[in-house]
Structure 1
Amino acid sequence: MLYRNLCLFLGYLTFFNLKNLLQACLIGLLFLTGCSTTSDVNKPYYKPFSSPVPGQVFIPSGTFSLGSSAEPDVLEQFSQSKKISVAAFFIDQTEVSNDDYREFINWVRDSIAITNFLEKKDQYMVKKKPSDPAGTLEQINWRIVGNGRTIWGKASRKRNPRLDEMFYKQDHLFNKKGDLDTRILKYSFGIFDYEEAFRNRNNLAKTQSDYTYRDTINVYPDTTVWIKDFANLANDQMLKSYFSDPAFGKYPVVGITWKQAKAYTIWKTNMLNNKTRGLSTTRKTVTVRLPSEAEWEYASRGGEDGMNYPWGNALHGEKDCLMANFKVAPGNYVADGGLFTKPVRAYKANKYGVYNTAGNVAEWTENLYTSSPQGITGDLNPRLLGVNDNARRVVKGGSWRDAAYFIRSASRTFEHQDTARSYIGFRTVMSAPVEQSIKK
């Protein structure tokens, strides 16, 4: 009996080893036949990741030709192409809408009301720690403020008569009596200049504050751009309604300077971090920013390197429909279905799930403008930064008022960072963690 059991055990062990050996051979065979080159073996597995920022999509790391197109450029500034690599990041699927930007406006409005005009503001503030009442930074508790109804309701307005100081007391140039005085909507922020700090790293006499650019700006969109940008144009209805009318809530915000767009990213960063890590945290887990020119173009192409547009080279798609919102021909703004802007999810998204990077509104990028960026930047995550007040910033994507040539992914132009236009908006990005994989 003992002999029989020993034989069965040895037979099972032999079968088990043969089975494992066969599996190992099959796995090895798959590795040998699955990759045509040695380099393929080293390519990490690619899968999409979720952004902590709502409404963003993942863009994997990759290599592409910045400034390339399927046809030769007739303008010298568009004729320079350069192969570069970009690290993984997240980008807004859509341009920032009027509704999105209005959240920022309402936050600034409520902050000013609580800080400067309420009789009793303690109910809206974070309670100070009993152990350190003097050392706790005064901070608004936005979970209590919510959508602001408790501030702006009739009962609160009656208890806090000074709130009336935030509204026009008589008709103004473009406003009526009782409208919010948008001139008071100012936001203070700081931008740390890492490159300048690095250049002066051996100067021990300077501190972080010496390299921090600080500014206070009005953040309300310039609605007069609908008149200023066009001579002798009957556009007063757009001036009156585009930002204030809820019907335009899902349309891209315009009349925004680069500084206002930058302020929005700083506010968004702070709000997301407070929500994620608690009200009184100083540690940042999320940093929202404007895209570099390279990031913007890479995301716009949707993996289609060398193509004219995010979807390919033809302006028409299925059923001969135009694929974007642009000026189709001299005097023809409506053939694409829109006279001015269109909703931020109009038209088809590219392969990365990004909408309207061609046409609709042109978009601010982080980069300083130079006519030859390829010559002064590297080939890995290139960008050109600075905080000069008179700076020109790269604008990408073209708009509803531009011809097809200017809505190509390769096309680029500029605008002064303190200038707002009726055809320039923006979207935001966030860097992905370094360990996230590259495009397969």
Structure 2
Amino acid sequence: MNMLTGVRSCVLLAATIGAFASCKPKQEKSTATGWNYNDKKQGSFSVPKPKDVKTAPGLVFVQGGTFTMGATQEDVMAEFNNTPKRVTVNSFFIDRTEVANVHYREYLYWLENTFSDEQYKKVLEGALPDTLVWRSELAYNEPYVEYYFRHPSYNYYPVVGVNWKQATDYCIWRTDRVNQLELINKGYLNANAIKTEENGGGQENFNTKAYLMGEYQAQPGKLATSKSNPLKDAQGRPRTTVRFEDGILFGDYRLPTEAEWEYAAYGYVMENPQRKASAKTRGEEVVANKQIYAWKNDGFDNLRSTKPGSYQGAFLANFKRGSGDNMGVAGGLNDNAAIPGEVTTFLPNAFGIYNMSGNVSEWVADVYRPLTSLEGDDFNPFRGNVFKTVDKSGGEGNLRDSLGRIKMKLENDSILQNRRNYQKAYALNYLDGDSLSGVTYGYGVTTLISDKSRVVKGGSWNDRPYWLSPGTRRFLEEDQSSSTIGFRCAMSHAGAPEGTKAKIKTGNSFPERKPRR
């Protein structure tokens, strides 16, 4: 090899080494202090990069926006409790279907095994759905009393006979099971924890809030103690417990607010025929004409498919067409469901959500008041807040109740007196039933409205078409149940409202302009 060739080789090698060196990811650092993030030499302050917000099991993403909440058509019932009002709902997740019998039986199975000790007998009894909701003095419905909840033929029919409190407890259980499995799959939690729990673990079961507060003694998984664990403490050692800011755990399953439920039911998705699959193209900022039901108004008959084809004339929801007509005549059944149908039947709306009109009515989180639309905020309106804080009266290490959940108590109003945004921890009756409003409802005397009245949305298999409109609203006491009421869960969405991808940022971004000198 001559001298020139050797020089060229050295230059090429140096250039190659430099290229590889330049491929090393740039160390992210604080724009406030200049200190490096995720650097064991500088304290290992963990700042995970924003990543795709995963959709938790069973949920679909609903991009938020503005809509007119309340009555949507000429109100033949002359209802005064759903006065139209323009509101905005932030993006969120909601169940694709109603919670089915098999899903609720899965919950009971866990309770039976985890709380098998006799001292927890009332826990299981308190979770059982009331199958007697099918019973009637003047109808033969005993087969539904015996079979509807447990027979395999009804596995994927919506669970009914569940009251509002039971539905709320189911949401808490679902949160914990989903997060526990996520930690196991990621290698931060030992899978043996499941066996321990379902062998009569009782109080020692996984609870998300208890885990995050260090009250649940978790058995770390393989990754948690491994050197390859990306989570480090201040000394650069593997961190065995996950924090919420690590972006691994899901948020809480909960009942949707009335505004969220109604918004999701309409499925308003702005359509632009010229729009291409690009983040740079946008449609016009318009709001679609108000719909009557959970699908678009298409033709004169809004309850049946009007598009030519095999589905033309088919009913779009499970409802009662008229007195004594729950499913049509033999050989020509109009909705093919005498009682609730399977949760994935009938037409899904634009968000891909099933049975927001018909099948079963659904619990939402709100406390019922007739004039909620006039009283509530216009951003994420909700009546039902009870602001709580952790009950630390038992001392650290004793913050859990007998079910393994963190004990909570009402915030002290005396501490809230100097706040500007709220002064009362109990806000269920705020300005409508409290001492400041001077409004009384006289429960059981002049009205059935109380702080235990919860809103019920959507029509059911036994309702006329009027109640199928998402704007209609009814109520029932939170400890009561019905053969026509079920529920579905929701979850708050974190990050930019436009989507679940990390590359989508909030606000409108413009090219950076360099200052003139």
Q: Measure the CA separation in 2 of the matches of 1:71 and 1:78.
A: 14
**Structure 2 residue aligned with 1:393:** 454
**Structure 2 residue aligned with 1:317:** 305
Q: Does 1:328 align with 2:321?
A: yes
Change (3 A) 1:51 1:258: farther
**467, 477, 484: which one aligns with 1:423:** 484
Residue 54 of structure 1 aligns to a residue whose secondary structure is: coil
Residue 454 of structure 2 aligns to a residue whose secondary structure is: strand
**Structure 1 residue aligned with 2:86:** 83
Q: Measure the CA separation in 2 of the matches of 1:381 and 1:231.
A: 43
Q: Measure the CA separation in 2 of the matches of 1:331 and 1:91.
A: 34
- CA offset digits 1:161-203 (Å, max 9, x no partner): xxxxxxxxxxxxxxxxxxxxxx93616xxxxxxxxxxxxxxxx
Q: Measure the CA separation in 2 of the matches of 1:305 and 1:86.
A: 18
Q: Is the 1:78–1:410 Cα contact (8 Å) retained in structure 2?
A: no
Shift in Å, 1:246: 1.0
Q: Measure the CA separation in 2 of the matches of 1:231 and 1:307.
A: 38
Q: Does 1:71 align with 2:74?
A: yes
Q: Measure the CA separation in 2 of the matches of 1:50 and 1:100.
A: 24
Q: Measure the CA separation in 1 of the matches of 2:113 and 2:78.
A: 48
Paired residues for 1:25-424 under 5 Å = 51-113=54-116, 115=117, 184=121, 186=123, 218-227=126-135, 230-277=136-183, 278=189, 282-283=211-212, 285=249, 286-303=251-268, 306-313=290-297, 314-318=302-306, 319-335=312-328, 336-386=335-385, 391-424=452-485
Q: Measure the CA separation in 2 of the matches of 1:262 and 1:89.
A: 18
Aligned AA for 1:379? D
Q: Measure the CA separation in 2 of the matches of 1:405 and 1:56.
A: 28
Change (3 A) 1:226 1:106: same
Aligned AA for 2:316? M
Change (3 A) 1:323 1:375: same
* Count, aligned residues: 295
Change (3 A) 1:78 1:369: closer
Q: Measure the CA separation in 2 of the matches of 1:232 and 1:386.
A: 41
- CA offset digits 1:30-85 (Å, max 9, x no partner): xxxxxxxxxxxxxxxxxxx7644212110001100001414345323355100000
Residue 224 of structure 1 aligns to a residue whose secondary structure is: helix
Q: Is the 2:266–2:294 Cα contact (8 Å) retained in structure 1?
A: yes
Unaligned 5+ runs, structure 1: 1-48, 118-182, 188-216
Report the TM-score when normalising by structure 1: 0.63
- Give the root-mean-square deviation of aligned CA atoms: 2.3
Q: Measure the CA separation in 1 of the matches of 2:54 and 2:165.
A: 25
The alignment-based identity, stated in percent, is 35
Change (3 A) 1:434 1:104: same
Q: Which has the higher helix share?
A: 1
- CA offset digits 1:209-261 (Å, max 9, x no partner): xxxxxxxx70011001100xx33110000000001101100000000000000
